[in-house]
Structure 1
Amino acid sequence: MPRAVSDGGEHMDSEIASRSSSHRRVDSVQHAGYKVGFPPKKKLLDEFTDAVKETFFADDPLRQYKDQSRSKKVLLGLQHIFPVLDWGRHYTFAKFRGDLVAGLTIASLCIPQDIGYAKLAGLLPQYGLYSSFVPPLIYALMGSSRDIAIGPVAVVSLLLGTLLQNEIDPKKNPTEYTRLAFTATFFAGVTQAALGFFRLGFIIEFLSHAAIVGFMAGAAITIALQQLKGFLGIVDFTKKTDIISVMKSVWKNVHHGWNWETILIGACFLAFLLVTKYIAKKNKKLFWVSAIAPLTSVIISTFFVYITRADKHGVAIVKHINKGINPPSASLIYFTGPYLAKGFKIGVVAGMIGLTEAIAIGRTFAGMKDYQIDGNKEMVALGTMNIVGSMTSCYVATGSFSRSAVNYMAGCHTAVSNVVMSIVVLLTLELITPLFKYTPNAILSAIIISAVLGLIDYQTAYLIWKVDKLDFLACLGAFFGVVFSSVEYGLLIAVVISLAKILLQVTRPRTALLGNLPRTTIYRNIDQYPEATLVPGMVIVRVDSAIYFTNSNYVKERILRWLRDEEERQQDQKLLKTEFLIVELSPVIDIDTSGIHALEDLFRALEKRKIQLILANPGLAVIQKLRSAKFADLIGEDKIFLTVEDAVKKFAPKAAENV
């Protein structure tokens, strides 16, 4: 904490000065024994280089290559692209045992989910299995997360299916629909990889956590409602996703469209799945009960339908899943024609959502195990796997929270668990897919409903409500947008509200009137500290934000309003007239030309009132720009202080002594 200079102050100043001069020349102004630094102005190229480095390369990715031999640099470069070359050197059999168990566990969960998610995306069931074979292998080579489980997920499947069906009817034109899905997957991968390669990952941060919570909850409700078609055995079902259209379609078919055998199968196994989830939640050691429940349900329900031939009594079944591994699909991607732009648009949206979900999941589990993941590296890995996936009959894959949680609890150590899962899916495609012929659609609907219920995070929503009402508005807007309109409109509302919140905070920054805490040299917000006392003859204001063109005029007007309010209070209570306005700038990290013009206007307005403007503790960027704009000369460098206390002692010594 700054304090008044003692008898040894001159010695301290000379020591600091000599130390500074030994490193670099720094102009300064001295106040009360302290120095407000005026660093020399940087060259334009250096200033630009520093700004780019801090924006895109804050983690200094090249530092590890310094002072290394050429062969070492090549090895480090390959390890940066393929982290498996790093952690693979230390891989042990003990780790493999954990990865083997985890991989087998998530495979039992992913196989039935993948079939259901493919139907959710409007694709044939085998495409869901394809998407859990190739992408996990690519991610295991390039990803940096140890816990994330890769494959199709409910939200992205719904989003992709909704956007694709807006362009092509999958029943009338199944081939074109599938080709557009591959095209969208390709551009989703390109988007993800480009964001990581150009280190633009900060773009996804513009979607606030609150908006994501609301969007995910709304998507979960929408997905569950979509499953009523298979759960109730309805044939004629609406293509719209909003809750009103879905409920109208459900009630329209209540007398002649519902199938009681289908409902019985779906209800029984949904209850079974929910009970196993409850058991796993109560006892973490029994997580495997919930993990194997979907595959168990598929096996039992398929066997039941086969022996009873329930499919002849109106129970809808999967019927056919192509046998064999992923066929090549690079030639099916639209690189020309009218569907190119449509595929690009859909791919960008799906890629951003998939990226947001995967990065959030990766960071969550990395924090739980106390290791770090490289966000940009993750984006490149996810993008690459989707680009390769689009050429091998896969649709958009990303990190699944439910499978990643099971992977974590099953004791995975590395991404080898994804490889194990992929091998199991391969064996399924080669050997077992014909056995899914009699799998009822109702069981797939029950599996999806039980899976998406976990996306409704009501505890976090309640916490958001208690902490920040504006955040809760973003959460609510995204939720209702998805539920009552569509997934894409819900996403748009989430983005708009998130950006609106940023703009509101940027254009209307907080300011505070400061007072002195008795018997200290500390000045704090009088609203937060009622015991803080105002300094007679002075108004002290703190600006809690950078001052840019978006808020400069507001900051000036708000400071003048503080001044007017204090002048009215002084007149009413017959107090000492204000002679000094101190602006505390320590929270102001930057200022632009509009901000400087606003300070100049403030200075002139104060001059007319015969009030002196004083600045306290401007930061490095601020003081450099104030000096370049000659504002420091305008108000006088003797009006720029290191602390509010220094300014008070200089211009109101009697008042300071009485504080």
Structure 2
Amino acid sequence: MLGRTVLTIHHKRRGPPRRLRAVPGVRAVSSYRREWLVKDLVAGVVLTTLLVPQGMAYAELAGLPPITGLYTTILCLLGYAVCGPSRILVLGPDSSLGPMIAATVLPLVAADGDSGRAVALASVLALMVAAVMILASVAKLGFIADLISKPTMIGYMNGLALTILVGQLPKLLGFKVDADDLIGRCAGFVRGLADGAVVPAAAAVGIGGIVLILVLQRLLPKVPAVLVMVVLAIAAATVFGLGAHGVALVGELPEGFPPFTIPDVRLADLPPLLGGALGIALVSLADTISNASAFAARTGQEVRGNQEMAAIGAANLAAGLFQGFPVSTSGSRTAVAERAGAKSQLTGVVGAVLIVLMLVLAPGLFRNLPQPALAAVVVTASLSLADIPGAVRLWRQRRTDFLLCCAAFLGVALLGVLPGIGIAVALSVLNVFRRVWWPYHTVLGLVEGVEGYHDIRSYPRARQLPGLVIYRFDAPLLFANAKAFRDDIRRLAEADPRPSWIVIAAEPVTDVDTTAADVLEELDEMLNADGVHLVFAELKDPVRHKIERYGLTRTIDPRHFFPTVEAAVAAFRLRTGARWAPPAAASPPPPDEPGPGTAEPPPTDEQ
């Protein structure tokens, strides 16, 4: 009895309680392997060399003091380490979110550019993003990331890259431009060049920094190019006294751990902040899911979309309470951690601890860092956002997707990043609706030597049965396309000679809504009056049950539903004795042009 009691007590003490094991960070600690420790420590040191300069640079990209980038980095790494399901995903300030934060916060800041108010607004924005992410996780809305299609995302990112690049060029050359839109910034930059506003020493640091980063990334990818450039820039500023030659420097950073702060903003600021938070949350979610999927595939993990949303929410919550701003995952920083041997989120914790030690023990370390060097970091990051080959591939493969890409690009470039993300989402949704509204539709025939029935546009010599038309409509029947379906069937029914059966190859018809049901009922009554019968083949059982529930079998003969097209054709031949017409007598394709869908084999999409 005593032995069993001791064993029971011993069993209960093994590992954390069940509720705590549900927390990914606790679960990771309980399953941590001792042999990972050295690799995680080394990877944490390597990662820190990238986190510090990028955090400061992306804070300035968002219109905030550089120190907020370090505060944000510390807290989001710790927050994700506790709640994140991925072993090596790295979070932090992101180049794609910086312009969105600036577009949301800066219009609300007073004309004097109060940095304290900007930080408070950015912190509230992070808290709102956290709330959106956590609520979306609870509601299991991870699919929302699919609202941005690949073509519109390519256009959005290309527009974002151009916006960042143009916005950083004046800073890269040592002067400022007061403009909020792309055209204004371009005009201001050209005026600055014409007026001789360029600071030669700043231009040398900025342009030299870009060249150095790109060359090192190309020739020595394992070398931390950003760190090398930053160290050399600080050395140059110290040795040559660049501050006295008109080069702006970062200056002394505040000392110590970021303070816990409840941001104080006006009630009137909340609506515009919420709009920005929704856009930032959508981009962050799409970025997180794509990065998590890519790195999970390499490590053999499964992507848990809803847990990732909750973890991103926790990271933003932590950042927002310590003078930070919204964050997302970073593919580049995660790749650096992976190449450095990271095995767990301890890598990020090490990075956060090292940044804290730097702020406590050596806050003046980056005092002489030139601002053009930070601009060089941002410019090189913007170049990585752009996907010109992807846009060229869309032009070659599918012109309609290329036009979507261009529209998203112009939306971001001309209207701004926040309207741009709205345009990207709207275009993606409208493109889906367009495919449902104008689906591909065709007549099928029998092809010699090929099993089944096939598109007569792809096989012009396909044979057909006199009096029978086999018609395929590649979409669910909904209010948006029901009238187009009706018009196609009426055109086929009025052909000469007039068919007696029109067989709908209905396998692609995954739904029939009430509007389409009414149209079908009117269509069938009209066809019956002309001696033409509407016949369905391969209709899925759920759709068949809906048709019966709508009462359509009052007009559509229940005997005119067949499990396969072959069964419908056999029934028609048994009833009429019809024989297949030779290829030369085959009916021509219907006179209407195909919709924007895909035929078999796929036609070239040049529309």
| Alignment counterpart, residue 397 of structure 1, candidates 323, 327, 336 | 327
- For residues 314-333 of structure 1, the aligned pairs below 5 Å read 314-330=246-262, 332-333=263-264
Question: Whole-Å Cα distance in 1 between the matches of residues 51 and 187 of structure 2?
Answer: 32
Q: What RMSD over aligned residues (CA atoms) do the two structures have, in Å?
A: 2.3
Question: Whole-Å Cα distance in 2 between the matches of residues 265 and 181 of structure 1?
Answer: 30
- Runs of 5+ in structure 2 lacking a partner? 1-11, 583-607
Question: Whole-Å Cα distance in 1 between the matches of residues 80 and 365 of structure 2?
Answer: 29
Aligned to 1:273: 213
2:559 is equivalent to residue 638 of structure 1:
yes
SS of the aligned residue for 1:648 comes to: helix
- For residues 559-598 of structure 1, the aligned pairs below 5 Å read 559-564=489-494, 567-568=495-496, 570=497, 577-598=498-519
Aligned to 2:199: 259
Aligned to 2:232: 300
Question: Whole-Å Cα distance in 1 between the matches of residues 462 and 25 of structure 2?
Answer: 58
Deviation at 1:188, TM superposition (A): 1.0
Aligned to 2:82: 141
Deviation at 1:652, TM superposition (A): 1.6
Question: Whole-Å Cα distance in 2 between the matches of residues 459 and 410 of structure 1?
Answer: 29
SS of the aligned residue for 1:436 comes to: coil
Aligned to 2:391: 461
2:159 is equivalent to residue 225 of structure 1:
no
Deviation at 1:558, TM superposition (A): 2.3
Aligned to 1:309: 241
| Alignment counterpart, residue 545 of structure 1, candidates 475, 486, 491 | 475
Q: Deviations over 1:492-522 (max 9, x none)?
A: 3212221221221122222221112335661
Q: Determine if contact 1:514/1:523 at 8 Å carries over to the other structure.
A: yes
Aligned to 1:198: 139
The total of aligned residue pairs comes to 567
Query: What letter is aligned with 1:272?
Result: L
Aligned to 1:478: 408
TM-score, normalised to structure 2, is 0.88
Query: What letter is aligned with 2:184?
Result: S
Q: Determine if contact 2:234/2:368 at 8 Å carries over to the other structure.
A: yes
Deviation at 1:531, TM superposition (A): 4.4
SS of the aligned residue for 1:312 comes to: helix
Question: Whole-Å Cα distance in 1 between the matches of residues 424 and 115 of structure 2?
Answer: 32
Aligned to 1:444: 374
Q: Determine if contact 1:98/1:412 at 8 Å carries over to the other structure.
A: yes
Question: Whole-Å Cα distance in 1 between the matches of residues 490 and 77 of structure 2?
Answer: 60
Q: Determine if contact 2:199/2:246 at 8 Å carries over to the other structure.
A: yes
| Alignment counterpart, residue 549 of structure 2, candidates 628, 636, 640 | 628
Query: What letter is aligned with 1:472?
Result: F
Q: Deviations over 1:154-189 (max 9, x none)?
A: 121111012211221474332222211111111011
SS of the aligned residue for 1:100 comes to: helix
Q: Determine if contact 1:477/1:490 at 8 Å carries over to the other structure.
A: no
Deviation at 1:433, TM superposition (A): 2.6
Aligned to 1:283: none
Q: Deviations over 1:629-659 (max 9, x none)?
A: 2223432221110001101111123446789
Query: What letter is aligned with 1:231?
Result: L
Aligned to 1:153: 94
2:473 is equivalent to residue 505 of structure 1:
no
Distance 1:532 1:147, change over 3 A: farther
Q: Determine if contact 1:188/1:352 at 8 Å carries over to the other structure.
A: no
Deviation at 1:417, TM superposition (A): 2.0
Question: Whole-Å Cα distance in 2 between the matches of residues 498 and 444 of structure 1?
Answer: 35
Q: Determine if contact 1:188/1:351 at 8 Å carries over to the other structure.
A: yes
Q: Determine if contact 1:649/1:656 at 8 Å carries over to the other structure.
A: no
- Runs of 5+ in structure 1 lacking a partner? 1-69, 281-286, 571-576
Deviation at 1:279, TM superposition (A): 1.7
Aligned to 2:153: 212
Question: Whole-Å Cα distance in 1 between the matches of residues 181 and 363 of structure 2?
Answer: 30
Query: What letter is aligned with 2:247?
Result: V
Question: Whole-Å Cα distance in 2 between the matches of residues 313 and 229 of structure 1?
Answer: 17
Aligned to 1:413: 343
* Most deviating of 252-261 and 515-524: 515-524
- For residues 51-200 of structure 1, the aligned pairs below 5 Å read 78-80=20-22, 82-169=23-110, 171-200=112-141
Question: Whole-Å Cα distance in 2 between the matches of residues 468 and 79 of structure 1?
Answer: 48
Question: Whole-Å Cα distance in 2 between the matches of residues 172 and 424 of structure 1?
Answer: 31
Q: Deviations over 1:330-381 (max 9, x none)?
A: 2x243x6212223222222222222222222112222344432111111111
Q: Determine if contact 1:128/1:152 at 8 Å carries over to the other structure.
A: yes
Query: What letter is aligned with 1:258?
Result: V
Deviation at 1:201, TM superposition (A): 2.0
Please identify runs of 4+ aligned residues in structure 1 that moved more than 6 A: none
Question: Whole-Å Cα distance in 2 between the matches of residues 561 and 88 of structure 1?
Answer: 68
Query: What letter is aligned with 1:277?
Result: Q
TM-score, normalised to structure 1, is 0.82
Question: Whole-Å Cα distance in 2 between the matches of residues 432 and 620 of structure 1?
Answer: 70
Q: Deviations over 1:43-66 (max 9, x none)?
A: xxxxxxxxxxxxxxxxxxxxxxxx
Deviation at 1:462, TM superposition (A): 2.1
* Most deviating of 472-481 and 527-536: 527-536
Question: Whole-Å Cα distance in 1 between the matches of residues 38 and 181 of structure 2?
Answer: 43
Q: Determine if contact 1:546/1:587 at 8 Å carries over to the other structure.
A: yes
Question: Whole-Å Cα distance in 2 between the matches of residues 217 and 519 of structure 1?
Answer: 48
Question: Whole-Å Cα distance in 2 between the matches of residues 169 and 246 of structure 1?
Answer: 21
Q: Deviations over 1:567-609 (max 9, x none)?
A: 24x4xxxxxx411110111111121111211211221121122
Deviation at 1:304, TM superposition (A): 1.7
Question: Whole-Å Cα distance in 2 between the matches of residues 241 and 75 of structure 1?
Answer: 54
- Structure 1 vs Structure 2: percent identity of aligned residues? 27
Query: What letter is aligned with 1:248?
Result: A
Q: Deviations over 1:131-158 (max 9, x none)?
A: 1101111112211223321000012111
SS of the aligned residue for 1:361 comes to: helix
Q: Deviations over 1:28-87 (max 9, x none)?
A: xxxxxxxxxxxxxxxxxxxxxxxxxxxxxxxxxxxxxxxxxx999x9666444x223444
Q: Determine if contact 2:464/2:581 at 8 Å carries over to the other structure.
A: no
| Alignment counterpart, residue 374 of structure 1, candidates 297, 304, 307 | 304
Query: What letter is aligned with 1:251?
Result: V
Query: What letter is aligned with 2:379?
Result: I
